[in-house]
Amino acid sequence: MYLKSIELSGFKSFAKKNVFEFNTPISSIVGPNGSGKSNVAEAFRFVLGEQSIKSMRGKKGEDLIWNGATSEPRANRASVKVTFDNSRKIFDIDFPEVSIERVVHRDGLNEYLINGSQMRLKDIIELLAGAHIGASGHHIISQGEADKVVSANPKDRKAMVEDALGLKLYQYKKAESERKLKKTFENVAQVKALRKEIAPHLRFLEKQVEKLAKTEGLREDLVKLALEYFKREDSYITSAKKEIEEERKPLSASLAKLEKELAEAKEVLAEQGSQEKKEYLILELEKELSASRAIKDASSRELGRVEGLMDAQSSIVRKQQELAASNEHKVIPLKDVEALYKEIEIEKDAPGILERIKAKFLNFLKERRETVASNIIEEAKKYIEELREEKLGVERKQKDAEEKEKKLQADYETLKKEVERAKDSDSSAQIAVFRIMSEENSIRSKLSLLKAREEKVGLEETEFKRELTEIGHLAGGDVLKYGGLEFSKEEGRVNQEERKRTLGRLKIRLEDSSIAGAEEVKKEHLETSERDAFLARELLDLEKSAESLNGLIKDLEDRLATEFKTGLQNINEKFDKLFTSMFGGGEAHLTLVKNELPVEEGEEGEKVEEGLDIKVSLPKKKIRNLMMLSGGERALTSIALIFAISQVNPPPFIILDETDAALDESNSKKYGDLVELLSEKSQLILITHNRETMSRAGVIYGVTMSGNGISKLLSISFDEAVEVAK
């Protein structure tokens, strides 16, 4: 047994949580009309991923949620959970039990869970398809759908049979592969278009690159020749400069020497020019000399006079000192005597005048003895001092005069000698100047020749550098690496000139063949060819994957065809058997029909639609088509076909909602027998009002609905069921 239980919560009339346990091969759900039995069948459709709300008798998701009643407010969500036993691994997941749950919210949002984990609808569908259960519901026959398989058109009928045969999974895979193939073809077209788009540009770049290779060859030739040319030119210029310098050095030295000699000779000549001036100067000097001598002599005489005065004063001093010592010839100035007399005159009448005069006189004498002489001495000494000062001045004057005389004398003698000498060298200096000048001229002309050579080499050097820059720009920095090269062969300038001409020609060719932005061109060519190669690889991969997809589609088609063919054979076998047993004879089978469809504009070939027709013949009745069958006969044919299909490829469970509604008692019995037969391979859930059908069930669930509109579940006995079903 695979199906374990279904739990409804807030789903339609099941306002509260209700769990149906399915632990017998046949379970029956019974109850009065409108109690909510069909809601259980729809709960199965819902939880298995049904997307058509219409097939669950609703318009929108909200219609599936308990809508509320006076006793029970409406729910915000409806959830249904179905649980399977997976111990026999009917589902390809590693759980012993698998529960699938779907929840719908009032805003229409759906949630899907597998064992409590959120999943996508796609995951649910894939999981169920693997177990041969699907929302398409070939194993869920809703109320009134019993003759769906009979009344459907051939195309839909074929789809139902394919679904029941489990071919949906292959069809799904085929459709998926076709979708991928279509996408692959689109990608192929896209990649081809991309390659086509870049092809002309790639061709252009290839040509450019070829041209660049030629240019590279020319550049290499140019570099090779330029290296030799530059090396030889550099050596030539260096040695030419060195040669010139070596030749110039002694010439410059000689010239410097000659210039010095010339200056000296000219100096001599210049001196001759100033001879007369010198003679005049000699006369002047002589004059100054005698003036100086006169000053010296006058000073000498002055000195004698001063010294004489000094001697005289010194003898006065001496004499006065001697006199003072003797008192015999002391001189008293008259004015002093007159002053004494006046004093005495004033006091002549005073008493004791004589005594007083005596005293006064004695005092006068005493004073004069000491002072008179000293006054003279003092004056004389003072005078001597003045004379000494004067003597010093005269002596200085004399000395200055002597020094001046000495200098004048020296100048005089030098001048005198010069004048003498100049007279001798007069003519030889003139000759020397001429000689030096002519030698100088000869050296200067040699130097100017050197200068001309130097200028020529300078021009050659400028040209060399210009060429170096130009070729460097044109052919790259390689041409600058000529330094280490060796060219032993000596040769004339003519070869270099020939080389220069060849270089010129190569330059023009290189310039003509040059492509602007060569590096960019190479880079772009590399990128574009890499992109093209990538696209080519991608195209190959896409073509390979298209090939393998085609193979896969072919395999799937083959498999579908074979399995459909075998499946159809088996179904027909069972169908016929069930049909004859139900109708007590006759025959029934499905036939493959092909219906040609109109070909639309732009489409190629013929369009054929395949379908399945039902061919029946009843015993003793002439039936041309199905429309001629009665309602009961149609129901029986449908049941026979549904059961046949279910027998060929039994699904884990089958739900039959009042499929038995149109059967009479004897057919109900046959129906009951078939149900039991089917239950050997699939679990059966039968919604029924039929007593016979109920009697075949191991468990009977009663669904009731009280006045509040809520469906309720009861597990009941057969007798109760018969009662409830009424």
| Footprint of ligand ATP (CB under 6 A) | 12-13, 31, 33-39, 63, 65-67, 143, 709
Starting from the edge strand earliest in sequence, which strands make up the sheet with 117-119, in order? Answer: 18-21, 3-9, 77-85, 97-105, 110-114, 117-119
DSSP-derived letter for residue 73 is P
Of the pair 299, 668, the CB lying nearest ligand ATP is at 668
Q: Which DSSP string corresponds to 184-201?
A: HHHHHHHHHHHHHHHHHH
Of the pair 438, 708, the CB lying nearest ligand ATP is at 708
C-alpha closest to that of 238 among 483, 504, 499:
483
The residues, ordered by sequence, that sit 6+ positions from 705 with a Cβ below 8 Å of its Cβ are: 13, 31, 32, 34, 35, 36, 711, 712
Q: Decide if 312 contacts 319 (C-beta within 8 A).
A: no
Q: Give CA–CA dist 212/219, Å, rounded.
A: 10
| Cα R_g (the chain), whole angstroms | 76
- Report the nearest approach of ligand ATP to the CB of residue 67 (Å): 4
Of the pair 43, 474, the CB lying nearest ligand ATP is at 43
Q: Give CA–CA dist 236/461, Å, rounded.
A: 10
Of the pair 38, 667, the CB lying nearest ligand ATP is at 38
- H-helix or E-strand containing 653? strand 653-657
- H-helix or E-strand containing 649? none
Of the pair 130, 709, the CB lying nearest ligand ATP is at 709
Cα–Cα distances (Å) from 236 to 76, 226, 461, 481, in that order, read 105, 15, 10, 17
Starting from the edge strand earliest in sequence, which strands make up the sheet with 683-687, in order? Answer: 140-141, 653-657, 683-687, 26-30, 699-705, 711-716
Q: Decide if 27 contacts 699 (C-beta within 8 A).
A: yes
Which amino acid belongs to residue 187? N
Q: Tell me the backbone φ, ψ of residue 68, rounded to 5 degrees.
A: 95, 155
Q: How many CB atoms lie within 10 A of CB 721?
A: 24
Of the pair 45, 158, the CB lying nearest ligand ATP is at 45
Of the pair 12, 174, the CB lying nearest ligand ATP is at 12
- Report the nearest approach of ligand ATP to the CB of residue 60 (Å): 11
Residue 724 tokens, joined: 């409830």
Task: List alpha helices for 328-352, DSSP H.
Answer: 334-346
C-alpha closest to that of 642 among 20, 254, 161:
161
Of the pair 40, 552, the CB lying nearest ligand ATP is at 40
Q: Give CA–CA dist 537/194, Å, rounded.
A: 13
- Report the nearest approach of ligand ATP to the CB of residue 103 (Å): 15
- Report the nearest approach of ligand ATP to the CB of residue 657 (Å): 7
Residue 294 exposed, middle or buried by CB count within 10 Å (0-12, 13-18, 19+) = exposed
Report the length, in residues, of the chain.
Answer: 726
Of the pair 143, 187, the CB lying nearest ligand ATP is at 143
- Report the nearest approach of ligand ATP to the CB of residue 6 (Å): 14
Q: Give CA–CA dist 497/104, Å, rounded.
A: 99
Q: Decide if 37 contacts 89 (C-beta within 8 A).
A: no
Tokens 């859930």, located at residue: 685
Of the pair 65, 124, the CB lying nearest ligand ATP is at 65
The residues, ordered by sequence, that sit 6+ positions from 709 with a Cβ below 8 Å of its Cβ are: 13, 15, 69
- Report the nearest approach of ligand ATP to the CB of residue 534 (Å): 59
Of the pair 64, 618, the CB lying nearest ligand ATP is at 64
Of the pair 36, 650, the CB lying nearest ligand ATP is at 36
Q: Give CA–CA dist 80/139, Å, rounded.
A: 18
Of the pair 165, 655, the CB lying nearest ligand ATP is at 655
Which amino acid belongs to residue 679? S
- Report the nearest approach of ligand ATP to the CB of residue 38 (Å): 3
Of the pair 167, 703, the CB lying nearest ligand ATP is at 703
Of the pair 28, 38, the CB lying nearest ligand ATP is at 38
Q: Give CA–CA dist 136/133, Å, rounded.
A: 8
Q: Which DSSP string corresponds to 222-272?
A: HHHHHHHHHHHHHHHHHHHHHHHHHHHHHHHHHHHHHHHHHHHHHHHHHHH
